[in-house]
């Protein structure tokens, strides 16, 4: 029998984690093969690899421990990819050569599959003197535009675009421009952005005092602290960015306070990291550890939890040695501190199984207790590893044990750490787990509440027919198996019904025993007042959170968390199909076979200074009355173009035949620049011949009604706001698979049906 609890879990495994040949032929024949590939690779460094391979396998079996996606996809494949998820890059020097050295490092890191974080506070503000050239500085925002353009051109490992986090201190003279930068919808789309908020600033906000904007000891402006705070809040209220990072709190609570200063985080915020720091992530699936779910005797097996954490820590420590790194500085940083980030997923489902309402006081207390148990088991496991393999090189007994989160551990454990050292400087972090939670059977993601208890996913088959798959939350599936169609109890709440303060309460409860940080989105209703919205951030500050990220649906961000008037229908009932029969955006299980006859158009493209024209033919397929691009042919008499035009023809056609929102092909082609220079065509500067081809394809997509217009997305569908009855959220459909399952996770609009993700 299949190990997968849901069809979507197997689809995610096949698309994201299954090891395949370059031509798509599977190497992993089953998920057991995937587990075996991972554990064999991570056990290589052990003195008894065979014994540890079996222990590691037992942890992965049945999705109890979930290494992060890069480990699951990359371990044991011998591919040149990093097993670390994200990096914070080096400190940006305040000079032109240094800035572009950092840009190069960022490109090399993203090329291997790592997201990156950067603090742009170190660059002098706009208008500052540039000595020696009699000019004014253009400021950090202008260089962020360069980073943004670079990120658009780098394909990270697998099929993800690179993700970036930009931070800026609240006392930088350009902070106001930073706060409002993404009000321009075309600017800095590859970045998540967060303001580094200091303790002094929060005190000034509460006291309604003045606030100086300073760089290199010079005061550029003095503003009212509360006015600046309101500007941050207003932009976040309207645009969902910037986020807020309480940076002094992070540094004060850092176990490594004595050897590093943190000024940035990874793109999703759960890992505050020093220059060249990397985040290595994995999650304990709490939903798999609950015994007797929904019964009075229901409980989480603490012994099993402790054993699983102990094994997971050892596996993650081995990843430090097994992984490749884009830069030598990253490898040295990882080896010196051996930082890992063990977190959880399935928390909300586990609480449901115990009869606890997510966001309630009892659920928060239980969450804190579980996090404490994980932290203590992780620190003890790492201490035992230090006995066997040695402490991390920068371990200092006095400074380590008496600072950071370590000071709150049990006295006996602290004494053991002081005596024997510890293998990993930091051990816990809670990451967003959207994809791996689906892979594990659609358990609730990270420490987030359940977003939708059940929804229908459509899959287009090669013959043009469509099948429907019901995707059910893991806890709801167990409830159905036990109680059939019996109505769900009142404690089954979801993201659409929770008050913001419930979210904050859960984040604060978990934070007490997480030595890094937490990826958590606090969902706010669209109608929340601005003052109430600001109170959410103040509550996060007052309750000890290290940062705060909210999402309020509106016309700009999109409405993704509104439920229907009929939302009290039992999730156990099959939802009625009210989704429009569209052909524009739908995931295809396999590429469609080519019909015998297709309609299309041919375009002539004459590139200046080129002897021969290029002819582009775009043919379309009609699905359910809607026309969409199906294939492309690119021809030229210039034989110098033959190889790349043939390759482009095949690649674009392959993408088109997979379905979904293929308009991104236009965006990618139009972003390509030729270092030899572009050309002016029809009054516009086109940066390359590839960009010109992208423009022609865009013109065709507009002509057939596939996209709305130049530089715009899919043509609006009059049924786009249609809502299936039941628990599925209302809002925009996913541009990749068409499902109404988009959710905002740490600034990234993410689809749980197909793992589409767009950050910023």
Using CA atoms, how far apart are residues 716 and 721, in angstroms rounded to an integer?
Answer: 10
Question: How would you classify residue 665: left for phi > 0, otherwise alpha for psi between -120 and 50, otherwise beta?
Answer: alpha
Using CA atoms, how far apart are residues 417 and 399, in angstroms rounded to an integer?
Answer: 12
Using CA atoms, how far apart are residues 506 and 483, in angstroms rounded to an integer?
Answer: 29
Q: Residue 206: phi, psi to the nearest 5?
A: -65, -30
Beta-bridged to residue 196, according to DSSP, are 169, 245
Which of 254, 266, 285, 424 does the annotation list as catalytic?
266
Total residues found in the chain within this entry: 760
Judge whether 86 counts as a catalytic residue: no
Q: Residue 180: phi, psi to the nearest 5?
A: -100, 5
- Closest by CA position to 747, among listed 68, 69, 241, 86: 241
Going from the C-alpha of 12 to that of each of 15, 18, 756, the distances in angstroms are 5, 9, 11
Using CA atoms, how far apart are residues 16 and 69, in angstroms rounded to an integer?
Answer: 8
Judge whether 270 counts as a catalytic residue: yes
Yes or no: say if 300 and 290 are a contact pair by the CB < 8 Å rule. yes
642: which residues sit within 8 A by CB, 6+ positions away? Answer: 636
220: which residues sit within 8 A by CB, 6+ positions away? Answer: 125, 173, 213, 214
Yes or no: say if 404 and 398 are a contact pair by the CB < 8 Å rule. no
Using CA atoms, how far apart are residues 38 and 20, in angstroms rounded to an integer?
Answer: 14
Specify the 3-state DSSP secondary structure of 750. Answer: strand
Rounded (5°) CA angle 522-524-529: 135
Going from the C-alpha of 379 to that of each of 284, 610, 754, the distances in angstroms are 15, 65, 36
Specify the 3-state DSSP secondary structure of 28. Answer: coil
Q: Residue 227: phi, psi to the nearest 5?
A: -65, -40
Using CA atoms, how far apart are residues 654 and 500, in angstroms rounded to an integer?
Answer: 44
CA atoms within 13 A on the CB side of 743: 28
295: which residues sit within 8 A by CB, 6+ positions away? Answer: none
Judge whether 266 counts as a catalytic residue: yes
Beta-bridged to residue 161, according to DSSP, are 155
Beta-bridged to residue 88, according to DSSP, are 117
Yes or no: say if 276 and 227 are a contact pair by the CB < 8 Å rule. no
Specify the 3-state DSSP secondary structure of 98. Answer: helix
Pairing of strands 218-224, 210-215: antiparallel
Using CA atoms, how far apart are residues 521 and 503, in angstroms rounded to an integer?
Answer: 8
632: which residues sit within 8 A by CB, 6+ positions away? Answer: 616, 617, 618, 619, 648, 649, 652, 653, 656, 697
Yes or no: say if 547 and 517 are a contact pair by the CB < 8 Å rule. yes
Which of 151, 268, 279, 545 does the annotation list as catalytic?
268
Which of 53, 105, 270, 698 does the annotation list as catalytic?
270
Yes or no: say if 760 and 241 are a contact pair by the CB < 8 Å rule. yes
Question: Per-residue DSSP letters for 41-87?
Answer: HHTTTSSSHHHHHHHHHHHHGGGSEEE-HHHHHHTTS--S--S--EE
Beta-bridged to residue 278, according to DSSP, are 87
Cβ atoms < 10 Å from Cβ of 555: 8
Yes or no: say if 746 and 245 are a contact pair by the CB < 8 Å rule. no
Using CA atoms, how far apart are residues 475 and 294, in angstroms rounded to an integer?
Answer: 9
Yes or no: say if 223 and 177 are a contact pair by the CB < 8 Å rule. no
Known catalytic residues are: 266, 268, 270
């Amino acid at each position: 029998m299949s190990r997968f609890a849901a069809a979507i879990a197997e689809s995610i495994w096949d698309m994201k984690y299954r090891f395949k040949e370059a031509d798509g032929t599977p190497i992993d024949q089953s998920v057991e093969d995937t587990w075996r590939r991972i554990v064999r690779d991570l056990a290589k460094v052990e003195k008894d690899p065979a014994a540890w391979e079996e222990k590691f396998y037992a942890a992965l079996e049945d999705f109890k421990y979930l290494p992060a996606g890069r480990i699951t996809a990359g371990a044991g494949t011998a591919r040149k990819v990093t097993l670390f998820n994200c990096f914070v890059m080096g400190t940006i020097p305040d000079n032109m050569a240094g800035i572009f050295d950092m840009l190069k490092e960022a490109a090399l890191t993203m090329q291997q599959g790592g997201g990156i974080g950067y603090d742009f506070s170190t660059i002098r503000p706009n208008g500052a003197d540039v000595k020696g050239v009699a000019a004014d500085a253009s400021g950090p925002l202008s260089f962020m535009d360069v980073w943004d353009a670079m990120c658009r051109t780098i394909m990270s490992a697998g099929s993800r675009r690179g993700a970036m986090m930009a931070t800026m201190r609240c006392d930088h003279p350009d902070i106001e421009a930073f706060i409002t930068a993404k009000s321009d919808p075309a600017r800095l789309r590859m970045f998540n952005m967060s303001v580094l908020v200091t303790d002094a600033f929060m005190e000034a906000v509460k006291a309604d005092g003045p606030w100086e904007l300073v760089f290199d000891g010079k005061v550029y402006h003095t503003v009212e602290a509360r006015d600046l705070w309101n500007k941050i809040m207003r932009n976040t209220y309207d645009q969902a960015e910037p986020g807020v990072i309480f940076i002094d709190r992070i540094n004060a609570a850092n176990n490594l306070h004595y050897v590093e200063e943190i000024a940035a985080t990874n793109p999703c915020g759960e890992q505050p990291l020093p220059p060249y720091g990397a985040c290595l992530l994995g999650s304990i699936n709490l939903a798999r550890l609950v015994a007797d779910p929904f019964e009075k005797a229901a409980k989480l097996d603490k012994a099993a939890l402790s054993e699983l954490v102990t094994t997971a820590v050892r596996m993650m420590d081995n990843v430090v040695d097994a992984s490749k790194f884009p830069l030598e500085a990253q490898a040295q940083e990882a080896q010196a501190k051996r930082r890992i980030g063990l977190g959880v997923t399935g928390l909300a489902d586990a609480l449901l199984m115990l009869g606890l309402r997510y966001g309630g006081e009892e659920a928060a207390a239980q969450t804190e207790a579980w996090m404490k148990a994980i932290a203590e088991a992780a620190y003890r496991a790492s201490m035992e590893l230090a006995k066997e393999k040695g402490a991390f090189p920068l371990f200092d007994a006095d400074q380590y044990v008496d600072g950071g989160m370590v000071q709150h551990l049990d006295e006996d454990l602290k004494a053991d750490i002081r005596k024997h050292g510890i293998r990993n400087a930091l051990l816990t972090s809670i990451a967003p787990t959207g994809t791996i939670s689906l892979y594990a059977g659609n358990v609730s993601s990270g420490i987030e509440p359940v977003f939708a208890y059940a929804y229908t996913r459509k899959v287009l088959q090669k013959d043009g027919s469509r099948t429907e798959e019901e995707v059910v939350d893991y806890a709801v599936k167990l409830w159905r198996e036990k109680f059939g169609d019996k109505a769900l109890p009142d404690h089954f709440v979801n993201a659409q019904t929770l008050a913001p303060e419930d979210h904050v309460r859960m984040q604060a409860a978990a934070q007490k025993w997480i030595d890094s940080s937490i990826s958590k989105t606090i969902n706010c209703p669209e109608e929340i007042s601005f003052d109430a919205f600001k109170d959410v951030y103040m509550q996060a500050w007052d309750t000890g959170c290290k940062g705060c990220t909210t999402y309020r649906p509106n016309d700009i961000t999109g409405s993704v968390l509104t439920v229907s008037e009929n939302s009290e229908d039992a999730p156990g009932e099959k939802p009625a199909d009210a989704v429009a029969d569209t052909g524009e955006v739908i995931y295809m299980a396999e590429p469609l076979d080519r019909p015998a006859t297709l309609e299309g158009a041919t375009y002539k493209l004459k590139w200046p200074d080129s002897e021969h024209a290029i002819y582009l033919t775009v043919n379309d397929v009609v699905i359910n009355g809607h026309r969409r691009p199906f294939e492309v042919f690119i021809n030229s008499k210039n034989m110098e173009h033959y190889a790349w035009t043939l390759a482009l023809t095949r690649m674009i056609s392959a993408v088109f035949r997979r379905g979904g929102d293929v308009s991104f092909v236009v965006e990618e082609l139009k972003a390509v620049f030729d270092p030899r220079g572009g050309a002016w065509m029809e009054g516009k500067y086109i940066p390359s011949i590839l960009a010109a081809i992208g423009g022609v394809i865009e013109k065709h997509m507009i002509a057939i009604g596939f996209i709305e217009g130049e530089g715009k997305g899919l043509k609006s569908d009059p049924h786009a706001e249609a809502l299936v009855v039941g628990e599925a959220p209302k809002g925009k459909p996913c541009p990749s698979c068409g499902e109404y399952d988009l959710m905002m996770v740490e600034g990234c609009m993410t689809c749980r049906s197909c793992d589409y993700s767009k950050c910023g």
